[in-house]
Structure 1
Amino acid sequence: MKEYIYFDEDLINSTLAQLDKGLIKNISEGDEQTNSQNSGGSKDVNTGIDGIMGFGVQLTQQISKFHSTEYSATQNRMLEYALNDYSVDLIISKIAQTEKFVDDVTQAEEGKIIVFSGEFSIYDFDLIKQITDESIVSLLVDDNYNEKDVKKLESQINQAKNRVKKQPQLAKDIRVFEERLSEIKSIINSNKKAKTGYNLINKVSKVADSILGGNIFIKSDNSLSLCKRECFRLNQGQIALLTESKRKINILAIVTAIKDEIHPEGTTEDFEPKNMNSIPSLLTDIFLSNFNMISEGDIILTPMAIFFE
């Protein structure tokens, strides 16, 4: 049983169309149009998908055309999901018989289709950008103390010290005040560091979300998958909670590139105007490598489907 979290329907159908008869969505849409008609009589439509189903299974649709009778959008959507989800098994079974298939990250080549499982990390820079916004951070960081509190307490300590010779009992109060002053200063400094850190993360996330096209990244083994946000079957909160999962993730993807080398510090050597097209790639490389999201030898993937099994 597969629990899909990501499904690129266009890429799946494109791949399937080249392998066999990838008309899954067209069939579903055709049903929806037919079902919306109201007329007398009835009609049985048997649509065979031998080869697509792999086991000689036929998709049988009985379309009953009576007055005021029609199928709901939910039923059409269920049919579409059933066909879409099975198409992943179909692609894997068909591609496994060809030389374009690989199931080992270390054996990956550009242009090949790979399916593998492994531990994973998810990076959603849009979410990070949102939760590190100043308006959110102010709710998380304790701002009960400020520099005014420090000056007020320092003034009380100085006044007590000026009177301690005449009032020795104030010595105890001075120690209490000084301990409290040290505690407040520590809290204020800690808050400043936290805010500075959150602010830096927020700026980096904004840059990342901008230059990386708003994609969500999944790091697994020696691979990095660039995932389109709209292809996830989970909302942003559910995606964030996936980081707590201990399960291994399964990825069906096309190998887009292999990083033979990385440039964490960037390079301007021998740069010429004709190399302007390499700037986006260079900036992306600098960013990803500095955050340990990519290393030499890693493969870049365009995922078709991502799921738990």
Structure 2
Amino acid sequence: MDYKGDDYPMAVSFVEGIPFPFEYQPISERIRELKSMEMRPDDVILCSYMKSGTHWVFEILNMLIKGKAEYTEHWKNSSMLERVPVEEFKDRPSPRILQTHSTFRFLPKQVVDKKCRIIYVERNPKSVCVSLFNHLRDRKQLREGVDWPQFLTMFLNGTVPYGSWFEVCHDWRRVRAQFPDVPVLFLHYEALKADPVAEAKKTATFLGLDLADGVLEEIVEACSFHNLKNAHMKKDSKYATVEDGAKKYFRKGTTDEWKSWFTVAQSETFDQMCDDKDVSQFIRTMADLHINN
């Protein structure tokens, strides 16, 4: 079902009650094909809510698997399960790095039996909210008349692409509990910013890779915000989907920009929603991750 009403900041299409960006057509058919997709045991699936550092981690994963700081030819959108026809994945060499903003229930059914590795990236929702607002606005996808206060309300209500951040947050924790045999690694944007080498090493270990510290440092340097943005300006634009994609996808890459957007009252309302949705403990963990690493 397609929907372009005032409750959402952009046009969306619903699949099983979840709003996907309208541009991902034919989304219902893609999801149906996706669920029956043939998987391989060495497939790696990168999952995240929108604007959580997905391009960053996608590039890190590719470099870790290659064992060197070499950029991919295409954007991470080229591996996006809900955007790319299933047929395009069949001839790609192993190990394939697949990416999605969808939740676990939309993944191929074989993920469980094949025990594919899943990496879930999470970011402070206040940062996600600000970044998503600017992302849609800069790409001219934001419905006319939607300003920051309106968008913030939509985000809190879950009437944004891919639905409620709060529900997604809980969903991935349920997955880890319900499917203990499926290897799932949680990465946090804030930890990656605080100690990228340690997080890259943790990720490499999860993937069964043994890379020298020098290689990890080279990968982290190549994937710094400035270097990665410049690299994407030179990439094949087939999958960028928007003119000047690098400028619109790579904005600031910080952890505290939300403070210049939220008023005190808005921040308090957001914090109360986090308490009501029982996610405050996860957000506090994100803030403290640099201590634990």
Q: One fold, TM greater than 0.5?
A: no
Q: Which has the higher strand share?
A: 1
TM-score, structure 2 as length reference = 0.24
TM-score, structure 1 as length reference = 0.23
Structure with greater Cα Rg? 1
